[in-house]
Structure 1
Amino acid sequence: MSEIINLNKARKARAKDERKAKATENRAKFGRAKSAMSLDKARAEKLQRALDDAKREP
């Protein structure tokens, strides 16, 4: 015979695990310092300018 479980506790535990997984994703997505984000933006803009400058006009 299987073990008796409290379905309410199982539901809450599953929800808690889902929240933890979402929090981990959000930390990776949004948890960067403003200086790191501005540095990446500056690098992207510099790369775009270099590509635009290298284009040849017909």
Structure 2
Amino acid sequence: MAEIVNLRTARKQAARKAARATADAQAAKFGRSKAEKELQQARAEKAARDLDAHHRDREQDQD
């Protein structure tokens, strides 16, 4: 005897599987781990701090 299958549920499961496969492919292509994102953010903040530390005050230059 054949197993009774709800076609709506089967369609939704197939769509989820396809979406998951697409998401995995995109993550492999474009994704970065949380640690990589935090490291890049920390490096950008440090570079901005270092740049700001090298600025001269305009008022002192005119004196």
Query: What TM-score do the two structures reach when normalised by structure 1?
Result: 0.54
**For residue 28 of structure 1, what is the aligned residue in structure 2?**
28
Identity, % of aligned positions: 49
Unaligned runs of 5+ in 2: 41-63
1:23-50 CA distance string (max 9 Å, x none): 0000000113575xxxxxxxxxxxxxxx
Structure 1, gaps ≥5 residues long = 36-58
Q: CA RMSD in A?
A: 1.5
Residue 4 (structure 1) shift: 0.3
Indicate the SS of the match to 1:4. Answer: coil
Structure 1 distance, partners of 2:31, 2:3, is 41
1:31-42 equivalences under 5 Å are 31-32=31-32
What one-letter code is carried by the residue in structure 2 that aligns with 1:14?
A
Which residue number corresponds to residue 11 of structure 2? 11
2:30 and 2:14 map into 1 onto residues whose CA distance is 24
1:49 matched to which residue of 2?
Answer: none
CA distance in 2, matches of 1:31, 1:5: 36
Greater than 4 Å deviation, 4+ residue runs? none
Between the two proteins, the alignment pairs up a number of residues equal to 35
